[in-house]
Amino acid sequence: MEVTGSSGGAAAVGPCAAIPAEHMAFIRTVLDRVGDKWSLLVIAVVESGPLRYTDLQRQVPGISQRMLTLTLRQLQEDGLITRTAYAEVPPRVEYALTPLGRGLHEIVTSLIGWAADHHDEIREHRARATAA
């Protein structure tokens, strides 16, 4: 893909060409956020929600308490999930996808499915690259 100049201007051709140069930095931060491994998995899991924190932690293997808390906070900041706290004893908090998050869910589950389908093939390529 060709890019005009080296000052970070708009792309001349390709999928980035329709994006104004002044929007690119923000778009990269959004892609970093939603492309994060934990964000992808949380978005995929919350679709069945609303879910409580402990249910999320059980359904996202390997995520630490700290990373789940941080991921949930960031997804909430971006408007992809809601956090609903109930005034009960003991307190109950549930997380659910927003309409914006539901729009991303299909893309996320397709990407996760692709990674699962091609797991062995990618693992073989990595092993060959490491051996070389």
Give me Rg for the CA atoms of the chain.
Answer: 19
Tell me if 12 is assigned to some domain.
Answer: no
For residue 10, tell me if it sits in a domain: no
In a domain, 78, yes or no: yes
Q: Is residue 11 part of a domain?
A: no
Q: What is the pTM of this model?
A: 0.79
pLDDT of residue 49: 76
Residue-level pLDDT at 1: 43
Q: Indicate whether 113 belongs to any domain.
A: yes
As given in the structure block, the two tokens for residue 15 are: 């999928």
Please tell me the predicted confidence (pLDDT) of residue 13. Answer: 80
Query: Domain containing 68 — which CATH number?
Result: 1.10.10.10
Residue pLDDT, tens place only, 84-107: 999 988 889 999 999 999 999 999
10 — pLDDT class (breaks 50, 70, 90)? low
Residue-wise pLDDT tens digits, 14-70: 888 888 888 888 888 888 888 888 999 999 999 877 999 999 999 999 999 999 999
Owning domain of residue 32: 21-131
In a domain, 111, yes or no: yes
Distances (CA, A) of 86 to 19, 26, 71, 76: 41, 34, 21, 17
- Which one, of 1, 29, 26, lies nearest residue 15 by Cα? 1
**96 in a structural domain:** yes
Domain count, the chain: 1
In a domain, 29, yes or no: yes
